[in-house]
Structure 1
Amino acid sequence: MGDRQPNEGLTRLYRESGWTQRRFAQEVNRIATERGTPTRYQGPSVHQWLDGHMPKTEVQPLILEALSRRLRRPVTHAQAGFPQPPGDSPAAGTVDGLLDLGEQDMSPTRRSVVGASLFSVALAVPGWPEVVGRMEAVATGQTRRIGMPEVDMVVAMTEQISQLDDQFGGRHARPMAAAFLVNTVAPYLKADASEATRKAMMSAASDLCYLTGYMAVDEGVHGIAQRYYLKALELAGAAEDHLTFCTTLRGMSVQAVDLRHGPEALRLADAAAAASPQAGPRMRAFLAGQQAHASAQVGDRANALRYLREADAAMEKAESREKAFGSYDPAALNYHTSQVRFELGDMRGAVEAMQQSDKLRYSIYRRTRVKERGLLAERQFAIGHLEAACATWHTALDDFPLVQSGRADQRIAEMFRLIRPHLKNPTARHLYERARAIAPKLAA
């Protein structure tokens, strides 16, 4: 015990952060809660870490992420005086990394490890010039030759998995997508093919990686989602697929804004818009709506409203030209309008826009319907409309048993928390009893 030395690296980072020991502990606890594994550290624990007591292995990434977020740069194990974890080196290439990622995600024995991964604000996101045309990222000449029929099959499977996700949530669909990536798509990426077919396959693989990352976000495993998104960016660049590259950056922004990392969300939303110089009106609405939400979260009212006007004007042009099912639509635009109004403090306006979004949403989007009706009810509750909120929560419960979704679970769990103090109200009591019968685990 007498040989223990103070942790100079961690102490140096701690001093640079400007935090008190109590605040340091609070930030570690916040990230642990975000990950789904709450901790209750206090100032004395930080004092022990600085004094040379080695934090638990599972806590070290929380400490590094807290410092990275504060200092706005990556903080490594070595810089913080922690031992390098075994097997921490990244896989060699795009396809090898995709195989490693998919194998972790499809294996039930590894899901707890995957679920413990952290959302990183210091993640290095490649720009379009860094990844465009990287054909050397994909090894060729192995297995058999492929053609466009194999590409078409991957595209069709991705569409089917996306529809399952929309209707039933990603909890069951994501392992299916991971298995398909490992067993079928990765071998295709290594197969011999013409240049046109190879690019088309990388584009299809990129789209599937984006979808799998999106489903990981839905389940709340944010670190693994970021890894899928990075693979999607690499493959989109290799395929010179601007659309999927921009869509993925925007998806990363959505993930960040939902976790309330406003500056990162805005940076990613702006990067998505900048990487799409020839966007059509629907794509422009898709990008500007997210820029509006992220701008509102960082308190930039003027730009939030400007981007919202841009999105609205672009949507009008898109709707006049075509009715595009399955892409950014008026329901999604009204959702962004609601989010902007909420961030800017207009709760009643947020409720009105979310109600309009619900009216316009296609019925196939069941998972989104549950999640956003839950959000609508929370906002109705916040302005004192208890009975209206209960009615909306009932509509969310109608679909909830058919949906396997972490975000849907969060909304129902929040419902229990909010109405529990109001059980003397008959309407609230009836909702509570119905919800407890449908989702007993979330009532705890």
Structure 2
Amino acid sequence: MEAIRIDPQRRIGQREIQGVTKMTDRLMDLYSEFGGRYARPMAAAFLVNTVAPNLKANASDENRKAMLSAAAFLSYLTGWMAVDEGAHGRAQQYYVKSLELAGVGSDRMTYCHVLRGMSVQAANLGHGTPAVRLANAAAESSPDSTPRMRAFLTGQQAHAYALAGEKVNAFNSLREAERAVNQAESRPETFGGFNSATLAYITAQVRNALGDTKGSIESLNEHFPLRDSTDKQLTKLLFSSFLAERQLKIGHLEAACTTWNSILDEYPAIHSGRIDAQLAKVPSLLSPYRLNSTAQITVERSRELLLPK
């Protein structure tokens, strides 16, 4: 990026930078509401057609760094959307490009977010050891020691440690995340991002990774009432699918079917590879209960709704 050829006919300022950040916010909203398959093509087109030319334009040092930072975060978000599509190799390409842009722009905050995002990707794929390495790298590179950021990072460390079988480290990180959330939420200013609802979800994931299915269900049941207007439809459906599987695992068939049907009610508007993959498991998971009418209705609904959109 430092050696990129500058277009002398093009110049950018604060207006162009604000355009990228505002568009990124809108793309995030679309992704959160409708899924990665819906929003990522728009994000990718915006990166290629608008953001890339901006990176070649004349600008002051301050504006150039700001544009690099905006481009880095958009690339990170596009990678996050690709994960939701199930395109993990493509997601890694976006993540690596985001790290490059953030590095050149001296944007340690985005750099830290990307490393954490890569840890989340590894954790979701069940790779505990790489998830730990990336989560620790994110914590080490963080320029911000506010309670909110500490919770954001240590929560991911807890999940990664649990997947790697490091129980003591997992619970130590979880307690640290809890302390940070309590500290942040006790302050008078507005608190967003990682909050009590997120902590309950992370606790559920830690418990599940360590084999405590009942405890995981308890934590997920604590999570949903804590959600507020900042929490998005996509995560609600994804986390609900985890709940349904764990309810079935401990023998609560009726509860699991109720949860799955609540997801299926909202599913038609969603374009998410992760949600598709979760719901595609329903027929096989319920196959031992084919004589149960509630289970059979749930299976039929899932098969009907999972037809190509």
Q: Structure 1-normalised TM-score?
A: 0.67
1:174 lines up with 2:69 in the alignment: no
Secondary structure (helix, strand or coil) at the match of 2:186 reads helix
1:295 aligned partner, one-letter code: Y
Asked if the contact 2:119–2:134 (Cα under 8 Å) also holds between the matched residues in 1, the reply is yes
Question: In structure 1, how many angstroms separate the alpha carbons of the residues matched to 2:8 and 2:46?
Answer: 19
1:376 lines up with 2:277 in the alignment: no
1:180 aligned partner, one-letter code: F
1:389 lines up with 2:256 in the alignment: yes
2:267 aligned partner, one-letter code: F
Q: Which residue of 2 aligns with 1:439?
A: 306
Query: Residues 210-359 of structure 1 correspond to what in structure 2 (within 5 A)?
Result: 210-321=76-187, 322-325=189-192, 327-359=193-225
Instruction: Give the deviation of 1:271 after TM superposition.
Output: 0.1
Question: In structure 1, how many angstroms separate the alpha carbons of the residues matched to 2:21 and 2:3?
Answer: 21
Asked if the contact 1:137–1:238 (Cα under 8 Å) also holds between the matched residues in 2, the reply is no
Asked if the contact 2:79–2:92 (Cα under 8 Å) also holds between the matched residues in 1, the reply is yes
Question: In structure 1, how many angstroms separate the alpha carbons of the residues matched to 2:65 and 2:5?
Answer: 13
1:408 aligned partner, one-letter code: I
Cα distance change of structure 1 residues 143 and 263 upon mapping to structure 2, 3 Å threshold: farther
Unaligned runs of 5+ in 1: 1-93, 95-135
Secondary structure (helix, strand or coil) at the match of 1:404 reads coil
Instruction: Give the deviation of 1:138 after TM superposition.
Output: 4.2
Question: In structure 2, how many angstroms separate the alpha carbons of the residues matched to 1:262 and 1:138?
Answer: 38
Higher helix share: 2
Q: Which residue of 2 aligns with 1:204?
A: 70
Please tell me the root mean square deviation across aligned C-alpha atoms, in Å.
1.5
Asked if the contact 1:139–1:189 (Cα under 8 Å) also holds between the matched residues in 2, the reply is no
Secondary structure (helix, strand or coil) at the match of 2:10 reads strand
Instruction: Give the deviation of 1:441 after TM superposition.
Output: 5.6
Name which one, 1 or 2, has greater alpha-carbon Rg: 1
Instruction: Give the deviation of 1:277 after TM superposition.
Output: 4.5
Asked if the contact 1:143–1:190 (Cα under 8 Å) also holds between the matched residues in 2, the reply is no
- Higher alpha-carbon deviation: 351-360 or 189-198: 351-360
Asked if the contact 2:109–2:144 (Cα under 8 Å) also holds between the matched residues in 1, the reply is no
Instruction: Give the deviation of 1:359 after TM superposition.
Output: 2.2
Q: Which residue of 2 aligns with 1:34?
A: none
Instruction: Give the deviation of 1:366 after TM superposition.
Output: 1.0
Asked if the contact 1:216–1:225 (Cα under 8 Å) also holds between the matched residues in 2, the reply is yes
Asked if the contact 2:115–2:134 (Cα under 8 Å) also holds between the matched residues in 1, the reply is yes
Instruction: Give the deviation of 1:425 after TM superposition.
Output: 1.1
2:76 aligned partner, one-letter code: Y
2:203 aligned partner, one-letter code: T
Question: In structure 2, how many angstroms separate the alpha carbons of the residues matched to 1:353 and 1:207?
Answer: 31
Instruction: Give the deviation of 1:367 after TM superposition.
Output: 1.2
Instruction: Give the deviation of 1:142 after TM superposition.
Output: 3.8
Question: In structure 2, how many angstroms separate the alpha carbons of the residues matched to 1:186 and 1:262?
Answer: 35
Question: In structure 2, how many angstroms separate the alpha carbons of the residues matched to 1:360 and 1:398?
Answer: 21
Match of 1:159 among 25, 46, 52: 25
Q: Which residue of 2 aligns with 1:402?
A: 269
Instruction: Give the deviation of 1:141 after TM superposition.
Output: 4.3
1:189 lines up with 2:60 in the alignment: no
Question: In structure 2, how many angstroms separate the alpha carbons of the residues matched to 1:247 and 1:253?
Answer: 10
Cα distance change of structure 1 residues 317 and 143 upon mapping to structure 2, 3 Å threshold: farther
Instruction: Give the deviation of 1:418 after TM superposition.
Output: 0.5
Cα distance change of structure 1 residues 142 and 398 upon mapping to structure 2, 3 Å threshold: farther
Unaligned runs of 5+ in 2: none
What are the Cα deviations for residues 389-423 of structure 1, in whole angstroms up to 9, with x where unaligned? Answer: 11111111121111100000011011222112212
Asked if the contact 2:17–2:67 (Cα under 8 Å) also holds between the matched residues in 1, the reply is yes
Question: In structure 1, how many angstroms separate the alpha carbons of the residues matched to 2:97 and 2:202?
Answer: 27
Q: Structure 2-normalised TM-score?
A: 0.95
What count of residue pairs does the alignment treat as equivalent?
Answer: 307
Cα distance change of structure 1 residues 209 and 137 upon mapping to structure 2, 3 Å threshold: farther
Asked if the contact 1:390–1:431 (Cα under 8 Å) also holds between the matched residues in 2, the reply is yes
Asked if the contact 1:281–1:317 (Cα under 8 Å) also holds between the matched residues in 2, the reply is yes
Question: In structure 2, how many angstroms separate the alpha carbons of the residues matched to 1:401 and 1:329?
Answer: 29
What are the Cα deviations for residues 294-327 of structure 1, in whole angstroms up to 9, with x where unaligned? Answer: 00111110000000001011011111223434x2
Question: In structure 2, how many angstroms separate the alpha carbons of the residues matched to 1:234 and 1:180?
Answer: 18
Instruction: Give the deviation of 1:438 after TM superposition.
Output: 2.1
Question: In structure 2, how many angstroms separate the alpha carbons of the residues matched to 1:241 and 1:274?
Answer: 14
Identity of aligned residues (%): 53
Q: Greater relative contact order (Cα 8 A, min sep 6): structure 1 or 2? A: 2
